[in-house]
Amino acid sequence: MISIEEALSKILSEVSVTKPESVPLKETLGRILADNVYADRDYPPFHRSTMDGYAIKSEDYDSSKIYRCKKEIFAGMESALDPDEEIVKIMTGASVPEGLDAVIKVEDSQELTDENSITQVKFNSDNIFQFMNISLRGEDLKTGELVIGSGAKVGISEISLLASLGIEAVSVYSLPTISIISTGNEVIPVGSAPLPYQIRDSNSYSLIAILNRYKIHPKSIVLVPDEETKIEEALKQGLESDILLLSGGVSMGSMDLIPPILEKLGVKKIFHKVSLKPGKPIWFGKKGKTAVFGLPGNPFSVQVCARIFLDPYIRSYLGMQIAKPLRYSFYGKRKKKNVLPEYFPVFLETKEKTGLCAKSFNGSGDIRAGLFSDGIALHPGERSEISEGDVLDFYPW
C-alpha cells in the first residue's frame, strides 16, 4: 500500500494545466488568473491629497502669516498654480499642484475673511513637513510593476485592483468538465422518502460544494445501483469529462464493482488503496485526458479524500500553487489503535495561542463527523498517541 505522499505525487504527475480563456471582469470572482498583471501607470497617478485642507509650499511656511487663497481644487480637476498663487484650497483625492508639497488639514486653519472670492487664511499648526497629507505619485505602484502573478485566485481585492488597472476582460484558466457518479443499491436521491435500509446521497453534494469553491459546476450528477451494466453505461458517459468523480464501490466487498469495470473500460489504474484513514480504499486512474477518482462511499471519507487528493489535483490543473498544510499545536490527547496515518476533524481554538482541538465523531460513516469543524488534522501513522503541545499538520476545509 502506498503512502499519502506517494499517492499525492502520482496524482499530481498526471495533471496538465488547462488553457486560458477570457472572462468579463465582473464574472471572475473565484477564478484563477492565467496571466501576470502589471501596473499600466503609476499609482497614485498624481500627488494626491489625503485630506480636505490647504496645499502649501512647506519650505516657505510661516505660522504667523496670513495667506491669500483664491482657488479650490476638487478631485477630478486638473490642477495648476497661477503665478501669483501661494496656496490653494484642496479636497481629498485631488491632485496637488506642482510647486506645492504639503497639505494642512482644514481643522488646523482659520478662514478670516472672504473678499472678492479671495479667502484670507491663517494656520494654527507648527509641525509642517514636506509631503504631509500627500500620497506621492507612484508610491503604491510604479508603471510596469508586477502586481499579481498568474495562478492567483481572484478575490474581492483582486477584482478591485483589476478594475483600477482597466482590465475589463481577464485571462483566467478554463475550468475542467466534471462528472459525478455515486454508486450503491442503498443510495437514493435526497428528495426521495427512504425505506429503513436506504440512505440519502450526501456525497454528490459535498463534492459539488468543493467544486463550487473553484466556480466549477459539474456537467452531470448521477446515481447508479450496484449493477454492472448500469455502472458501465454511466462510467462510459462520465469518462467524457476531464475529471470523473466516483463515490462508493471501491472497497473489497462483493458489491464493490467499480475497479474492474474501470479497467475494462481502458482506465489505467495508477493506484488502489492508500495508507490512510479514513479513505484507505481510494482508487485513482487515468484514461486519456480524464482523471478518475474512485472515492470510498462513507461521507467523511469522501470529504477527507477530496481535501487531500482532489483539491490539489484541481489547484494544479488550474495553475495554482498547492496549498501546504498549516502547522498548529494540539490541545488535548488523542489515541489511535492501528498504524495508519489518520485525519480527524478539528476546531481552531484560541487559548494562550491558537491551536487544534479534536472534534469527537463515530467514524467515517458518521454524517456529523465534520460538522462545524475548521478542517482536518493529521495524526501521524507511527504515533499511537498525540498529546498537548504536539505540532500537527492542519488542512483547513
* 319 touching ligand AMP, by CB under 6 A: no
Sole binder of ligand AMP in the list 45, 93, 332, 365 (CB under 6 A): 365
Residue 64: exposed, middle, or buried by beta-carbon count in 10 A (0-12, 13-18, 19+)? exposed
Interaction partner, residue 285 (Mg ion, ligand AMP, none; CB < 5-8 Å by kind): none
End-to-end CA distance of the chain: 26
Q: Report the distance separating Cα 246 and Cα 257, nearest Å.
A: 12
* 249 touching ligand AMP, by CB under 6 A: yes
CA nearest to 210, candidates 109, 286, 308, 336: 308
The interface mask with ligand AMP, positions 159-198, x = CB under 6 A, is -----------------------x-x-xx-----------
CA nearest to 328, candidates 309, 345, 312, 349: 349
Number of residues that bind ligand AMP (CB under 6 A): 19
Sole binder of ligand AMP in the list 238, 259, 279, 299 (CB under 6 A): 299
Contact between 207 and 248 (Cβ < 8 Å):
no
Interaction partner, residue 93 (ligand AMP, Mg ion, none; CB < 5-8 Å by kind): none
* 381 touching ligand AMP, by CB under 6 A: no
- Strands 243-247, 290-295: pairing is parallel
Interaction partner, residue 202 (Mg ion, ligand AMP, none; CB < 5-8 Å by kind): ligand AMP
The cell 482532489 sits on which residue? 310
Q: How far is the CB of 263 from ligand AMP (least distance, A)?
A: 18
Q: Report the distance separating Cα 172 and Cα 18, nearest Å.
A: 10
Q: How far is the CB of 191 from ligand AMP (least distance, A)?
A: 14
Interaction partner, residue 247 (ligand AMP, Mg ion, none; CB < 5-8 Å by kind): ligand AMP
Contact between 52 and 90 (Cβ < 8 Å):
yes
* 199 touching ligand AMP, by CB under 6 A: yes
Which residues, at least 6 apart from 324, have a Cβ–Cβ distance to it below 8 Å?
none
Interface stretch with ligand AMP, choices 30-38, 169-177, 267-275, 297-305 (CB under 6 A): 297-305
* 241 touching ligand AMP, by CB under 6 A: no
Question: Distances from the Cα of 360 to the Cαs of 278, 336, 374, 384, in angstroms?
Answer: 15, 13, 13, 17
For residues 272 and 315, which CB has a smaller minimum distance to Mg ion in the complex? 272
Interaction partner, residue 370 (ligand AMP, Mg ion, none; CB < 5-8 Å by kind): none
* 247 touching ligand AMP, by CB under 6 A: yes
Instruction: Take residue 123 and report the three cell numbers written for it.
Output: 494656520
Q: How far is the CB of 193 from Mg ion (least distance, A)?
A: 21
Q: Report the distance separating Cα 365 and Cα 100, nearest Å.
A: 71
* 44 touching ligand AMP, by CB under 6 A: no
Angle at 272 between CA 267 and CA 274, to 5 degrees: 145
Q: How far is the CB of 250 from ligand AMP (least distance, A)?
A: 6
Which residues, at least 6 apart from 229, have a Cβ–Cβ distance to it below 8 Å?
none
Contact between 148 and 165 (Cβ < 8 Å):
no
Q: Applying CB under 5 A, which residues contact Mg ion?
A: 184, 248-249
For the beta carbon of residue 226, count every other beta carbon within 10 angstroms.
19
Sole binder of ligand AMP in the list 44, 97, 248, 355 (CB under 6 A): 248
Interaction partner, residue 296 (ligand AMP, Mg ion, none; CB < 5-8 Å by kind): ligand AMP
Which spans of this chain sit near ligand AMP (rule: CB under 6 A)?
182, 184, 186-187, 199, 201-203, 247-249, 251, 253, 256, 296-299, 365
